[in-house]
Amino acid sequence: MSQNLPRSDQAENRWAESGGLADLARRPASQVCRLERMGAAFPTRLSFMRLLLRRMQKERWSIERPKFALDEQGFGRAVYRVRTKDRTYSLVAFANPLAPDQRTDRVIASAWDAAFVLFDGDPQEADLDRLEANAPHQEAGRFYATDLVISRANRSIRLFEYVCDCLANGRQPDPQRILDVGYLMRTTAVYGNGKFGVSDRSRVVRREEAQNSFQIEMLTVYLIRLFTFDQLEHIAACRAPGRSVSLEPALKRMLGIGNATGLGMAPFVVSHPELMHQWFAARETALARIRSLSGIQTPSIDRAVHLTRRALLHLEQWPLDDEAYKQRNARLREDLEVILKWLTESDDTDLTGQYWNRLISRSEQKLSVDAQELLVALLIEVYPKVIDGLDDAFYASEARPLNASQRVGEFRTFLDTRYDWTDRFNFKSDEQNQHFWYVSENKLEPRFGNRWTDPGADQEMPVAIARDISSLRKALKGYDAEETLAQFLLDMPQYRHLVRRAQSAGALEYAEIQDNLIAKGTSPLDILRFKLACFGAAKFDPKSSLWTRITMFQGAPLPDEIASDSADDWWLSTLPSVH
């Protein structure tokens, strides 16, 4: 991690001093809420992992390990206690023997190397006994209101045993081997918000530290990461007492938590439009503030150059098997070299006007979408204070009251304005109706089917917003403009949920994905990458068109580093000593 974070120049932050400029030109939803651009998302300072660790730093959270009862093979249980300014959370970990033929990334597995529960408070022995009897069974277990999150993880066999052997023999592992995998364990699920009987979000929603999106889940993953380090070093020490060594901090930092993410995440973005708007709006507001700046100072250019070079190294250290992603990243490297040239050739004349605004516009004309979105994330990183006031707004009310007294004509005009993008699709075409989303019976997980070849279309999830809103607009044309929506819905109750959605979410600029999610060629990976980038994940490694591996918290500071001034400087982390 870099040891110095440059301060943003005071002249460049006059938007903050004045409470923000009056007319910030945010990119329109028609540009950013599209699958292609969502599928090019990168983590930013506004990503949920970054929000969590900054709060931990600001509020001086402490992390302790009151219990660590593992045997020589690393099996047993452990507890990690986190004290916030107001309360305590505890990660309870259970490590169990697992036969090689039971180890899988798939969500349908029934056994794992480790199971975890984030407990609300300090668990007593009776709580640990109860959780030990239930947590390893995951969704087949029974949980109490104190159990906030459940998770499970498997070791990366190709890396865990290698690193453990190195440490037991008194040497550090090859850094390149660390980078080739990036994690000691990967989770196959992190469940919260009432899933499988764990506590409902209503228990924590009014807590400051839990209000923002997925903060409780991110805390769980961060603590799981600590457990993997401790378990690894414990096993190594048991194998070679007096000879083993601890893993160097620089190598620890580059080990995150892997995750195998499938379709389960995708429908969430569609079913929570108010929340999606908040995620987009914060980023686009931050970018608009930067684009409005003039009189750019040399230290900011130098910081941008430094981060561009870091991004280039990050791409070199991004392992991939997927050919399409390899080609995209090859093009991205070429585009980053172009950006580096633009930055290093800037002169004082360039910097007098709105230099960043011109640079963004130039990138949109000449560079790939991947490069455009990486540049956005990079510029937000240059100005830490640009997110002031934006980093505590990642939650939203989803009450969605229905105004049945609204006139049909007024509502029709509203739809014609806010949902005119649905006119791009001809839903009489088979290609525009190729797919359907449904929930599997055995695991209650979302799936993506072919309407013309797969069974289950009669159980379709309400994900096809473009098609359904288009149908609603056509149905409304048969009603008099002065008629109320009450009469319309009495006649056609199947549209009730769409009317409620449109009345609430339609007024929010970034609430809808402005594409047809059931069309031929639709890639669920685009939605997955967008949401995972919002989490703060990096190094997307698709394994099919339906799921991807990622790394979470790679490069993140260790607990004893969180208080340092440089703790937040881990965007697109790299290991510089590897060539």
Task: Measure the CA–CA gap between 557 and 61, rounded to whole angstroms.
Answer: 14
- pLDDT for the residue numbered 99: 73
CA angle 326/331/337 to nearest 5° reads: 130
Indicate if the pLDDT at residue 158 is higher than 70: yes
Q: Is the pLDDT of residue 192 over 70?
A: yes
Residue 431 and residue 317 share a domain: no
Q: Which of 391, 419, 449 is the last residue of a domain?
A: 391
What DSSP designation does 510 have? T
pLDDT band at 447 (very low <50, low <70, confident <90, very high): confident
If we measure between CA atoms, which residue out of 572, 50, 537, 550 comes closest to residue 310? 572
Asked whether the predicted pLDDT for residue 105 surpasses 60, the reply is no
Count of alpha carbons within 13 angstroms of residue 82, beta-carbon side: 26
Q: What is the mean pLDDT of residues 375-394?
A: 93
Q: What is the mean pLDDT of the chain?
A: 91
Tell me: pLDDT of 124 over 90: yes
Residues 84 and 216 in one domain: yes
Whether residue 491 sits in one domain with residue 383:
no
Residues 364 and 336 in one domain: yes
Give the CA count within 13 Å in the CB-facing half-sphere of 306.
19
The pLDDT of 5-12, averaged and rounded, is 38
Residue 111's pLDDT is 77
Q: Is residue 545 part of a domain?
A: no
d(CA 293, CA 354): 6
Note the pLDDT of residue 548. 85
In this structure, what is the dihedral angle of CA atoms 178, 80, 132, 440, given to the nearest 10 degrees? -60
| Beta carbons within 8 Å of 426's beta carbon, 6+ residues apart | 432
Give the alpha-carbon dihedral of 163, 164, 165, 167, to 10 degrees.
90
Give CA–CA dist 218/259, Å, rounded: 12
Percent of the chain with pLDDT over 70: 93
Alpha-carbon gap, residue 460 to 174, rounded angstroms: 49
440 shares a domain with 352: no
pLDDT: is 102 or 130 the higher one? 130
Q: Under the phi-then-psi rule, with left for phi > 0, alpha for psi from -120 to 50, and beta for the rest, what region is 400? A: left
Amino acid 543: pLDDT: 82
| Tokens encoding 444 | 């209650």
Specify the residue for token string 């030990």: 132
Q: Which helix (H) or strand (E) holds 57?
A: helix 48-58
What does DSSP say about strands 256-261 and 62-70: parallel, antiparallel, or unpaired?
unpaired
Asked if residue 525 belongs to a domain, the reply is: no
Tell me if 96 is assigned to some domain: yes
**Pairing label, strands 538-542, 446-450:** unpaired
Residue 111 and residue 137 share a domain: yes
Beta strands across the sheet bearing 183-191: 62-70, 76-83, 88-95, 114-120, 147-155, 183-191, 256-261, 548-552, 538-542
- How far is 544 from 542, CA to CA, in rounded Å? 6
Domain boundary residue, one of 450, 482, 505: 505
According to the model, what pLDDT value does residue 3 have? 35
CB atoms within 10 A of CB 495: 19
Q: How confident is the model at residue 261 (pLDDT cuts 50, 70, 90)?
A: confident
Say what the pLDDT of residue 6 is: 34
Q: Do the beta carbons of residue 427 and residue 467 sit within 8 Å? A: yes
| pTM passes above 0.75 | yes
- DSSP classification of residue 142: -
Do residue 137 and residue 3 come from a single domain? no
Residue 269 lies in a domain: no
At residue 103, the pLDDT reads: 63
Q: What is the pLDDT of residue 292?
A: 93
Please name the residue that has the structure tokens 């100072």. 297
311 and 353 inside one domain = yes
pLDDT at 4: 37
pLDDT tens digits for 482-497?
999 999 999 999 999 9
Domain boundary pick from 332, 357, 391: 391
pLDDT class of 110 with cuts at 50, 70, 90: low
Domain-embedded: residue 175: yes
Round to whole Å and give the CA distance between 440 and 32: 31
Residue 27 per-residue DSSP state: P
Q: Which residue in 286, 300, 337, 298 sits closest to 315, CA to CA?
A: 337
CB of 307 closer than 8 Å to CB of 571: yes
Regarding whether 445 and 330 lie in a shared domain, the answer is no
Q: How would DSSP label each residue in 265-280?
A: GHHHHHH-HHHHHHHH
Tokens of 566: 């440089």
Tokens at 28, concatenated: 């329109």
Same structural domain, 473 and 375: no
Question: Which residues does 562 contact at the CB level (< 8 Å), separation at least 6?
Answer: 53, 56, 57, 61
Domain presence at residue 37: no
Query: Which pLDDT belongs to residue 113?
Result: 92
Query: What are the pLDDT digits (tens) for 301-313?
Result: 999 999 999 999 9
Q: Under a CB-based contact definition with an 8 Å cutoff, are residues 320 and 16 in contact?
A: no
Specify burial of residue 304 (Cβ count, 10 A radius: 0-12, 13-18, 19+).
Answer: buried
Alpha-carbon gap, residue 211 to 396, rounded angstroms: 10
For residues 237 and 354, membership in a common domain is answered with no
**In this predicted structure, what is the pLDDT of residue 10?**
42
* 543 lies in some domain: no
Residues 199 and 71 in one domain: yes
Number of domains in the chain: 3
Query: Is 12 a residue whose pLDDT tops 60?
Result: no
> Is residue 39 situated within a structural domain?
no
Q: Which residue has the tokens 């309407």?
A: 451
Alpha-carbon span 252 to 229, nearest angstrom: 8
In this structure, are residues 51 and 62 in contact, taking their beta carbons and an 8 Å threshold? no
- Answer whether 86's CB lies under 8 Å from 215's CB: no
- Interatomic CA distance for residues 460 and 472, integer angstroms: 17
The boundaries of the domain holding residue 493 are 408-505
pLDDT tier at 22, thresholds 50, 70, 90? very low
Average pLDDT over residues 297-303: 94
